[in-house]
Chain A
Amino acid sequence: ELTLLGVTQYYAYVQEKQKVHCLNTLFRKLHINQSIIFCNSTQRVELLAKKITELGYSCYYIHSKMAQQHRNRVFHDFREGHCRNLVCSDLLTRGIDIQAVNVVINFDFPRNSETYLHRIGRSGRFGHLGIAINLVTYEDRHNLRRIEKELRTRIGPIPAEVDSKLYVAEFQHDLK
């Protein structure tokens, strides 16, 4: 059973060609422990992973056309923290159960609510804190509202500053 509890969801309106730039901005503004970035096709997974590795990201990728054994290996290494970000297509069926993942990004917005839930949802009653950010193009605008409605959830526009308390575990202001 997957839940969206504890996950704060945002969207950012972008054009296709602005997506990588938008991703860069997110990675300069947020406190990311580990992140998962979803694309809609295996080609786009490989392209994006290659592109952002060149830009200095620490990332692995997995997609459905890779051998299961290879996928397991990559996922295991990611879980162990060998790299910080994972680019992938839709193949995780159980929901993310990696405690360190506090940011999930839909680089491509999914077409239906089931996929959305599988990407963003957490398993277990006490989901860890996290944020989900959807890069939404003009074509995605109806899907966004439909999925929001079907899942009875709220996906708000991303604010200039994302409150750390929403996704950084154990964040404390008193330390200042």
Chain B
Amino acid sequence: VVLAQDSLIEEVSFLCNNLSLANLPNKVEDIRKIINDNDDNFREWLAQYLVMKRITLEQNFHALYNGFLLALNDVTLNDMVKLETLRNIKILLKSDKKHAASNFCDRQLLKNLGHWLGLITLGRNEPILLDELNLRDLLLEAFYKGQQELLYVIPFVVKVIISCGKSSVFNPTCAWIHQILQILAEIHRQSDLKLNLKFEIEVLCKELQVNLDNLICDNSLLQDTDRITLMTQQLSEVTML
């Protein structure tokens, strides 16, 4: 989305540079005024700006930006922010992962976006619909495709799920989340899984006060390779050697 007026961009930039909990109500009023004075094109630009220039990069202020959007309470903008978040996540998931070990940057961005997605969905008692992003199948697909993919996907899924500690609806016992936790636990039991990924899963369980050893599933989805190969692919193709 392109915005014609530089002054408007600068105004928003100034506002975001100076947003804090203490001045939140004032800044919310300021942005509301700007939104009312402009058309939907501005909303769309704002959603993109917030996600790409702020949220993706400023993990330390996620709670602040979430509070900002909640106080603003603009349904259209919230929808646009969620769409933009998912769009960026999908770009990163589809990106080439051949050099994953060295591509720290993409993985960090994906983690940040995952944390944000969890905050604005699970954290607000709202679901992530399966046709928006299928976390369970994503894990299965990554497991099937290999280590590099897991390096991207596990920390991402963990960051999303961590917000369910704050949710009364989507807590660890809800069927949707519970199944994802079970799959994470099963991946955790694979002996060749990288130690830092095991650690990520352990941290998640500790945070959610779930006992990793109790997460056992009778019919393993991980072993059902026929099913996995038929799934809609959310990651990039694995290039043949």
Q: Tell whether A pairs with B.
A: yes
Choose among B14, B18, B58, B106 the residue that contacts A172 (Cβ–Cβ < 8 A). B106
A111-139 Cβ-contact flags toward B at 8 Å (1 or 0): 00000000000000000000000000000
B36 interface residue (CB < 8 Å to A): no
> Chain B residue with minimal CB distance to A28?
B10
A1-41 Cβ-contact flags toward B at 8 Å (1 or 0): 00000000000000000000000100111111101000000
B88 interface residue (CB < 8 Å to A): yes
A175 interface residue (CB < 8 Å to B): yes
- The docked-state distance in angstroms from the alpha carbon of A99 to that of B56 is 16
| Least Cβ–Cβ distance between B62 and chain A, in angstroms | 10
- The docked-state distance in angstroms from the alpha carbon of A46 to that of B198 is 50
A54 interface residue (CB < 8 Å to B): no
- The docked-state distance in angstroms from the alpha carbon of A33 to that of B56 is 12
Choose among B18, B26, B106, B108 the residue that contacts A85 (Cβ–Cβ < 8 A). B18
Q: Is the CB of B64 within 8 A of A56?
A: no
- The docked-state distance in angstroms from the alpha carbon of A174 to that of B201 is 29
Provide the residues of chain B in CB contact with A35, threshold 8 Å. 17
Choose among A57, A84, A99, A171 the residue that contacts B57 (Cβ–Cβ < 8 A). A171
- The docked-state distance in angstroms from the alpha carbon of A83 to that of B26 is 14
> Chain A residue with minimal CB distance to B18?
A58
Consensus secondary structure, chain A interface = loop
Choose among B13, B14, B61, B105 the residue that contacts A170 (Cβ–Cβ < 8 A). B105
- The docked-state distance in angstroms from the alpha carbon of A163 to that of B21 is 29
Q: Is the CB of B14 within 8 A of A169?
A: no
A168 interface residue (CB < 8 Å to B): yes
Total interface residues in chain B, CB < 8 Å: 30
> Chain A residue with minimal CB distance to B105?
A170
Q: Is the CB of B109 within 8 A of A29?
A: no
B91 interface residue (CB < 8 Å to A): yes
Q: Is the CB of B17 within 8 A of A30?
A: yes
B55-88 Cβ-contact flags toward A at 8 Å (1 or 0): 0111011001000000000000000000000001
A82 interface residue (CB < 8 Å to B): yes
B19 interface residue (CB < 8 Å to A): yes
Q: Is the CB of A168 within 8 A of B57?
A: yes
> Chain A residue with minimal CB distance to B21?
A82
A166 interface residue (CB < 8 Å to B): no
- The docked-state distance in angstroms from the alpha carbon of A81 to that of B22 is 11
Given contacts A168-B57, A170-B109, contact A56 B13 (CB under 8 A): no
| Least Cβ–Cβ distance between B98 and chain A, in angstroms | 15
Q: A56-B23, A82-B21 are in contact. List 20 more A-B contacts (CB 8 A).
A: A24-B14, A27-B13, A28-B10, A28-B11, A28-B13, A29-B10, A29-B13, A31-B17, A31-B53, A31-B57, A33-B61, A56-B26, A58-B19, A81-B20, A84-B20, A85-B18, A170-B56, A170-B57, A170-B108, A175-B92
Please give the residue numbers on chain B whose beta carbons come within 8 Å of chain A beta carbons, in ascending order: 10-11, 13-14, 17-23, 26, 30, 52-54, 56-58, 60-61, 64, 88, 91-92, 95, 105-106, 108-109
Which 7 residue pairs are nearest across A and B when measured between Cβ atoms? A28-B10, A58-B20, A32-B17, A58-B18, A28-B14, A83-B20, A57-B18
